[in-house]
A and B are shown apart, each in its own frame.
Chain A
Amino acid sequence: MGLADPTPDGRFGQFGGRYVPETLVPACEGLEAAFREAWADPAFRTDLDDLLRDYAGRPSPLTECANLSEELGCRLLLKREDLNHTGSHKINNVLGQALLAQRMGKTRLVAETGAGQHGVATATAAALLDMECCVYMGEVDIHRQELNVFRMRLLGAEVRSALSGSRTLKDAVNEAMRDWVATVEGSHYCLGSVMGPHPYPWMVRTFHEVLGREAREQSEALLGAPPDVVTACVGGGSNAIGIFSGFVDADTELVGVEPAGGAAVGRGVPGVVHGMESYLMQDEFGQVLEAESISAGLDYPGVGPEHSYLAASGRARYEAVTDAEVVEAFQLLSRTEGIIPALEPAHALAWVSRARGELAGRSVLLNLSGRGDKDVAQMMEVLRPAEGGGEA
């Protein structure tokens, strides 16, 4: 038994729904119907499983961290989504949506991206399936994730700069939705997290459940039981929901980790934007606040509706970590285990490191959602002054 399905109108408790302009309602309804039909079709499932195995490299391994476990005093396991093709968990969802779009006769994929990992995954799937691809990315993120911009272009995608608002992920979502409003007849909006209007939060979760299933099996094989704690970073929340899905029925504590500057669950109140009702960082008038995080992939003032539901119901808890703690964790994993993490999952590790007292002697499974190659240039900038200071 995994996570519950949403209601027919796409709600998890009070959260979710389908708050889109009239123009997009038929497209959302059509997508929902197509997804239900495809998911029930063994041929579709086989095609997707084959791609996940032969192209993306699934299953991803589970790594026990001997060195770091000793340092932290808990038993730390990593689900290695960083080893997937394209470097993150995002490929699981994208291959599913791209196959579905093709089945629906769509010839163009539109996507938003923050860190560029979802954009790269979408550009990759578009190249593989010979589809057109247009990725919106905030101007700020285009600069701090330059490597991924180049990768997307190399893969044949067009990258368009979102110049409005905070010029980060939130604004890239707005631009992608505006594009979709205009191109809905031939384009599929390949949304990159468990957010947006119904059916996206549920559909994207379903495509990521594979990583939760694998992690359950792998961790039980290793530990003889599910781990005590499962943790993951939360931007929109797709990698977290993927791993939570494998353990929601177990006696396992579920901990989502948000950036302090983008803590929708921690600091938000219910609101409606980007097609969904969910916790949202907003001012007293309902204007959405600009998130502020060192990690482009988590720099988002909202969160997927199912996380709001899991928080409100108490099944999962959500913690926030600061940029400074994340930079520490980024270095810690690199140094102790020889694994350079993406800044996003470094948030989850930052929490583990801070909570080591509480976690002492327990088994902790962390979803390592992506690898750090994309962040190395940015971290060179961040870490240079400290080194210049002559750390002995």
Chain B
Amino acid sequence: MAPGPVEAALRARRDAGGKSLVVYVTGGLGDDWTDTLRAVADAGADAVEVGIPFSDPVMDGPTIQAANDRALASGATPAGILDGLRGLDAGAPLAVMTYYNIAFRMGLERFAASLADAGVSGCILPDLPLEETGPWAEAADAAGVETILLAAPTGEDDRLRRVCERSRGFVYGVGLLGVTGVRDELAASASVIAARLKQVTDLPVLVGVGVGTPAQAVEASAAGDGVVVGSAVVQRMVDGAGPAGVAELVAGFRAALDVG
């Protein structure tokens, strides 16, 4: 099977000797969230993750929870967010990040088709572990949507291998034991999970959760192929920095990764 747009973009970055930057943006947060998304891509993100807010985000810390709640309070819905993405020429492939019940409620096939229809290439469901992925992954495969799986530090090597085999786009290495959020220092487990995943897969390996500064991004991508940055960016959005302010932050990550 030919790689999808997310995987192709990240492989291209790697083949050119660079480190990938994937940036998470909460969908429906503020009126200008699609402008922010485009600005993030322009500032050097290789792919953009768009969060569809869920009422009970168990893998998220206070920053993304608050952003979720705010977007929901202002009326964000899955269909509304996908409408915002449809026809948007973001300049980078898009992946949706949400929780399984959002897909389950809409119906797995319908949800997968609506992602494809909105021009979304990939999907991340952090509460859907390998054993429960089957029905969703089949629906996503059929619709041509890349299912990006998380791989955790608690997994044995054999489990990491099986996760990588079923993952599409890239494999999302969880950088620490915990939920999303900026920490003062990068956890030692970030480099360890990247190195362990690199041993078992040729897919791009990105580390996310707890990567909050350009310096941490450089450190976390040394052993792997890049990073996912979420809470730091969402905090900027919540602070009202606007598309330009968020882009400035993202450009800082890009520059640091390019220098290495």
Q: Which residues of A contact B (CB under 8 A)?
A: 9, 17-27, 164-165, 170-171, 174, 177-178, 181-185, 270-275, 277, 280, 282, 284-288
Contact = CB atoms under 8 A, between A and B. Distances in A.
A26 B154 contact: yes
Given A25-B130, A174-B56, A286-B103, 19 more contacts: A19-B100, A19-B127, A19-B132, A21-B58, A22-B152, A22-B154, A23-B152, A177-B58, A178-B58, A181-B179, A185-B154, A271-B105, A274-B56, A275-B127, A285-B77, A285-B78, A285-B106, A286-B102, A286-B105
Nearest to B151: A22
A182 B177 contact: yes
B155 A181 contact: no
Interface string B43-69: 000000000001111110100010001
Contacts of A178: 58-59, 61, 178-179
A137 to B, nearest CB: 17
A286 B178 contact: no
A182 B178 contact: yes
A282 B99 CA distance: 14
Contacts of B58: 21, 174, 177-178, 181, 274
B72 interface: yes
Interface size, B (range):
35 or more
A270 B102 CA distance: 12
A180 to B, nearest CB: 10
Contacts of B149: 22
A157 B29 CA distance: 38
Contacts of A287: 54-55, 72
Given A174-B56, A178-B58, A288-B55, A21 B152 contact: yes
Interface of B: 54-59, 61, 65, 69, 72, 77-79, 100-106, 126-132, 149-156, 159, 163, 174, 177-179
Nearest to A288: B55
Contacts of A274: 56, 58
Contacts of A174: 56-58
Contacts of A26: 154-156, 159
A21 B100 contact: no
Contacts, number: 117
Contacts of A25: 129-131, 152, 154-155, 159
28 contacts: A19-B128, A19-B129, A21-B127, A22-B129, A22-B149, A22-B152, A22-B155, A23-B177, A24-B154, A25-B129, A25-B152, A26-B154, A26-B156, A27-B154, A165-B55, A174-B56, A181-B58, A181-B178, A181-B179, A184-B177, A274-B56, A277-B104, A282-B101, A285-B102, A285-B105, A286-B54, A286-B102, A287-B55
Nearest to A183: B177
A285 B110 CA distance: 13
Contacts of B179: 178, 181-182
Contacts of B59: 21, 178, 181
Contacts of A183: 177
A217 B155 CA distance: 46
Nearest to B59: A21
A185 B189 CA distance: 14
B174 A23 contact: yes
A237 B168 CA distance: 39
Nearest to B58: A177
Contacts of B129: 18-22, 24-25
A178 B209 CA distance: 13
Top 3 nearest A-B pairs (CB, nearest first) are A286-B105, A182-B178, A23-B152
Nearest to A10: B131
Contact of B69 (A21, A27, A164, A277): A164
A276 to B, nearest CB: 11
A274 B156 CA distance: 24
Contacts of B78: 285-286
Contacts of B77: 285
A276 B174 CA distance: 22
Nearest to B126: A21
Contacts of A277: 104
B174 A22 contact: yes
Contacts of B55: 165, 287-288
Nearest to A198: B131
B154 A184 contact: yes
A288 B149 CA distance: 24
Given A174-B58, A272-B101, A286-B105, A20 B178 contact: no
Contacts of B154: 22-27, 184-185
Contacts of A185: 154, 177
B41 to A, nearest CB: 27
A107 B245 CA distance: 45
Contacts of A21: 58-59, 126-127, 129, 150, 152, 174
A346 B249 CA distance: 56
Interface centre among B61, B69, B177 (most CB of A within 10 A): B177
Contacts of A270: 104
Contacts of B155: 22, 25-26
A182 B177 CA distance: 5
Contacts of B102: 285-286
B73 to A, nearest CB: 11
A171 B104 CA distance: 21
Nearest to B178: A182
B185 to A, nearest CB: 15
Nearest to A282: B105
Contacts of B152: 21-23, 25
A73 B102 CA distance: 48
